[in-house]
């Protein structure tokens, strides 16, 4: 069943349409779960082929979205997230193929043991069911989310941002065509076709029990709304307040290369470093070098009192330590040893991604063990906080909550498990 939403729907009509989408997704999820891994793999490969074949149409649809977004005065970082290029379309298709190449998690036996009474108990992975994904700007999330949900034998209901509607619709059409190519139900992947914000509310209601989990991917206000209003479990994070700590035993060349990449490779991604922490013992000599390199690359620096005394920069306010800039702006704090760095992260961080640059093994292991973030790193750019870089093919987002999924959310994180018990006639005394 293909469901088309009018651009302006009365709430009662929209409610009915959304409920119908939920029912269609539930039916489709049962079919894809039974289809087997080979058929799901074939569908993913067909989706990638459809994406490549439709590249001109995707670029045209995206061009229309970009024109409208520019007219609305959307920020440069958001425009970067929105834009599709031939290389990004190819990366999208390659990402789907990477997901296709992943081991199918459904049916994976996580553990098996035998009780004294002879019962054999296994913990086995299975699909969650129907997953709602609510996201902003990035049309490539349409492909990533749809592919990952299918890999784990789930159905997906996708709700992209209004600014990317034409792009997301064109991508979703490719995914649905790929499903049809191998005989799987197109309603395993559905895109909400209206920019009406009321559609989000219907998703958060759970669609009459048809929606099992919701995954938000976007700005702080979106994720906060989802977490506050959802009547189904939420896998998500509020924001990416990522830190790079330059330890006293940091290699200066590594520190420079890492902080430049961590901040400036793409400023609009959630893994971009927003605060650089530098050890007080090396700040007088190393901070000027790092600051000059960052400024030469076009980065504005906002430092605490000690940082400003070492190298002229804008004085940071308290708000700077809790701001996800998504722009070429970096806050800088001088800290007293690893304890000072970890205290700053604990106070201001969002438990997303934090990195230490050091040649000291003991300090590195302490940082990795004690910093309570979804992703902790040593001598690596925080921009590696990405499911594809973790070998997951793609990701729906980075989870920072206290559910089974933490860090990049890939196919495996979109499964649950059940216990399978095999007996030989046992009865309980």
Structure tokens at 390: 């973790």
Residue 382 confidence (pLDDT) above 90: yes
**Would you place residue 342 in the very low, low, confident or very high pLDDT band (cuts 50, 70, 90)?**
very high
Residue 287 confidence (pLDDT) above 90: yes
Rounded to whole angstroms, the maximal C-alpha distance in the chain is 78
The Cα–Cα gap between 204 and 322 comes to 27
Q: Where are the alpha helices (DSSP H) in 332-399?
A: 337-348, 361-370
Q: Where are the alpha helices (DSSP H) in 36-159?
A: 37-53, 55-71, 76-82, 86-101, 140-151
The Cα–Cα gap between 70 and 65 comes to 9
Residue 4 confidence (pLDDT) above 80: no
Sign of torsion over alpha carbons 133, 136, 142, 148: negative
pLDDT of residue 3: 45
Helix (H) or strand (E) holding 424, with range, is none
Write out the E strands in 105-177.
Answer: 109-114, 120-127, 130-135, 155-159
**Would you place residue 9 in the very low, low, confident or very high pLDDT band (cuts 50, 70, 90)?**
very low
* 86-114 mean pLDDT: 96
Q: Which residue carries 């018990």 as its tokens?
A: 421
Task: Using DSSP bridges, classify how beta strands 407-408 and 300-303 pair: parallel, antiparallel or unpaired.
Answer: unpaired
Nearest to 102 by CA among 398, 418, 394: 394
pLDDT of residue 8: 45
Report the share of the chain in percent with pLDDT over 70.
Answer: 97
**Would you place residue 5 in the very low, low, confident or very high pLDDT band (cuts 50, 70, 90)?**
very low
Q: Where are the alpha helices (DSSP H) in 266-336?
A: 283-296, 305-310
- Structural domains in the chain, sorted by start: 11-237+399-421 (3.40.605.10), 242-384 (3.40.309.10)
Phi, psi of 224 (to 5 degrees): -60, -45
Structure tokens at 259: 């902080």
Q: Which residue carries 């670029």 as its tokens?
A: 59
* 380-404 mean pLDDT: 86
* 129-140 mean pLDDT: 92
pLDDT tens digits along 157-170: 999 999 999 999 99
The alpha carbon of 358 is separated from its chain's Cα centroid by a whole number of angstroms, namely 28
For the ranges 62-71, 119-128, 231-240, the lowest mean pLDDT is seen at: 231-240
Residue 293 confidence (pLDDT) above 90: yes
* 194-218 mean pLDDT: 93
Nearest to 247 by CA among 382, 353, 363, 371: 363
* 200-218 mean pLDDT: 93
The Cα–Cα gap between 50 and 46 comes to 6
- What are all long-range contacts of 282-289, with beta carbons under 8 Å and residues at least 24 apart? 282/246, 282/248, 282/250, 283/307, 283/310, 283/334, 284/310, 286/246, 286/250, 286/252, 286/255, 287/311, 287/332, 287/334, 289/252, 289/256
Write out the E strands in 295-410.
Answer: 300-303, 314-315, 329-335, 353-357, 375-378, 398-399, 407-408
Q: Which residue carries 């970067």 as its tokens?
A: 80
**Would you place residue 377 in the very low, low, confident or very high pLDDT band (cuts 50, 70, 90)?**
very high
Q: What pTM does this model have?
A: 0.85
pLDDT of residue 419: 97
Q: What is the mean pLDDT of the chain?
A: 93
pLDDT of residue 12: 66
């Amino acid at each position: 069943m293909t469901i088309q939403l009018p651009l302006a729907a009365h709430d009662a009509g929209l409610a009915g349409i959304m409920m119908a989408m939920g029912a269609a997704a539930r039916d489709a999820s049962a079919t894809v779960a039974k289809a087997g891994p080979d058929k799901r793999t074939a569908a993913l490969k067909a989706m990638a082929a459809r994406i490549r074949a439709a590249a001109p149409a995707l670029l045209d649809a995206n061009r229309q979205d970009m024109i409208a977004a520019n007219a609305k005065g959307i920020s440069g970082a958001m425009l970067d997230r929105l834009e599709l290029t031939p290389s990004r379309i190819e990366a999208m298709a390659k990402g789907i193929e990477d997901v296709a190449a992943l081991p199918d998690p459904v049916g994976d036996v996580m553990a098996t043991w035998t009780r004294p009474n002879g019962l054999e108990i296994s913990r086995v992975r299975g699909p969650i069911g129907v997953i709602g994904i609510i996201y902003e700007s990035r049309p490539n999330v349409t492909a990533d989310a749809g592919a990952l949900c299918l890999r784990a034998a789930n159905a997906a209901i996708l709700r992209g941002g209004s600014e990317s509607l034409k792009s997301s619709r064109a991508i979703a059409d490719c995914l649905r065509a790929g499903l049809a190519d191998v005989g799987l139900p197109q309603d395993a992947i559905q895109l909400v076709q209206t920019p009406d914000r009321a559609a989000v509310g219907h998703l958060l209601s759970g669609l009459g029990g048809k929606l099992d989990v919701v995954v938000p991917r976007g700005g702080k206000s979106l994720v906060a709304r989802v977490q506050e209003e959802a009547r189904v479990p939420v896998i998500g994070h509020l924001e990416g307040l990522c830190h790079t700590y330059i330890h006293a035993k940091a290699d200066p060349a590594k520190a420079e290369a890492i902080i430049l990449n961590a901040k400036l490779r793409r400023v609009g991604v959630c893994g971009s470093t927003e605060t650089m922490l530098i050890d007080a013992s090396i700040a007088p000599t190393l901070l000027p070098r790092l600051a000059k390199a960052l400024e030469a690359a076009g980065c504005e620096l906002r430092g605490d009192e000690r940082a400003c005394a070492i190298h002229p920069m804008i004085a940071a306010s308290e708000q700077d330590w809790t701001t996800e800039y998504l722009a070429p702006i970096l806050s800088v704090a001088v800290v007293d040893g690893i304890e000072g760095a970890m205290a700053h992260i604990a106070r201001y961080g969002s438990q997303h991604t934090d990195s230490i640059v050091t040649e000291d093994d003991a300090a590195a292991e302490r940082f990795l063990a004690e910093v309570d973030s979804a992703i902790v790193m040593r001598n690596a750019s925080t921009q590696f906080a990405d499911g594809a870089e973790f070998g997951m093919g793609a990701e729906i987002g980075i989870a920072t909550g206290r559910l089974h999924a933490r860090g990049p959310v890939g196919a495996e994180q979109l499964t649950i498990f059940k216990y399978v018990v095999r007996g030989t006639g046992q009865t309980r005394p």
